[in-house]
Chain A
Amino acid sequence: MMQIRSAAVEYPADPGAGAGTTSPCAAPGTASGDLRSPPGKRWRDADGEHIDVRGLAPPGPLVAIVRLIESVADATPVIVHHDRDPVLLYPELAERGWVAETIAGEAGEVRLKLQKG
């Protein structure tokens, strides 16, 4: 069985929090490989936890999204703002009992709603 190390979630300061809109991505993934400050801008909104992983190179988006869903204790949905269909993500979601649906997003954006199945 796979073992996932539990991880504390850190929310970077987000001037757009609560606005319900997407924001440009934060700095790309840490080149040093340090995961203590996971890449991807995150904020909470009425429809769930948001994460913007646009501009991150693989597997940055995968790691950031998995880290976030690992930290969600209740049934809060996770809204992903991406610039491409995250094909590498779906097997990891399936292993954790999460499902993904596309929802309307900005032009050029792929927006997914992730929920515990």
Chain B
Amino acid sequence: MAMPYSFKSALQSLCREKWINILSIFTVASSLLIVTLTVFFLYNVELVTSHLPERFSMMIYLKDNLPREDTQNVINMLQKRADVSKVRYISKSDALKELKQTLKDTNYILEGLDDNPLASSIELRLKKDFVTGATAARIAEEVKKIPGIDSVFYGEKIAEAIHLLKRSVENISLIIFLTISLGVIFVTYSTVKILFYRKNEEIEILKLLGATGSFIRMPFLIEGGIIGLMGGALGIVGAFIFYIAVTYRLSMVIPVLKTLVFPLEILIALPVIGIILGIIGSAIAIGRLRL
């Protein structure tokens, strides 16, 4: 069987050309360490920003003295919308109570009022995906047209900022991941290319003995995969040391760092990414074999 021979051949080559391979493993490890730290940072940013849309709300003020039945109609219409996650009715008296609580010690300024000047309102929470400046504006426009609604207020800049922050986090992570991936592919490409040239004579002999392209390629692909795997494993060790240093040591100075979370998925993802990128680099290095 070709597989065990290929593995043996790849392992022998790794040992025989140990310095170039060790160098490659460390280079891949440093690259993947950067990926891990980026993921680590972005994961925590995502963790924080993912809750922001839940806190975004739209305030809908109802017309004065709107009959109870009409108020219920407005609530029903809002609840039916696919972009709404929560509808909370705040009556005039509830609004005043909330205002008094907000003002606390300075609520004496309300003492001179005969009537409750506040309007009944509805607090509308949108579903996560609809918290963008444009969508919130569209929803506000649509809601305004519902009979019985006087005005709609929402933090359009906040909605846009939340959306922008999330998009930026996603884009930055994608750019860093792609850049580093290309780097890792290039490292394994260079290593395997050098090994391939060094083994040129051996490859020619294999061809003359009747070896197929896959038989010749397999040890190089395995070697590239192993370089990626070991680079990935070493990258995890580096990242874990960094995490411990940050959460245990630096958190004494900056307590908020204690809340950082290490994404455990990366323990599996990083070696797998390493293997895949290593194999891709090797495959490109070998290219098409002329038999």
A and B are partners in one complex rather than unrelated chains: no
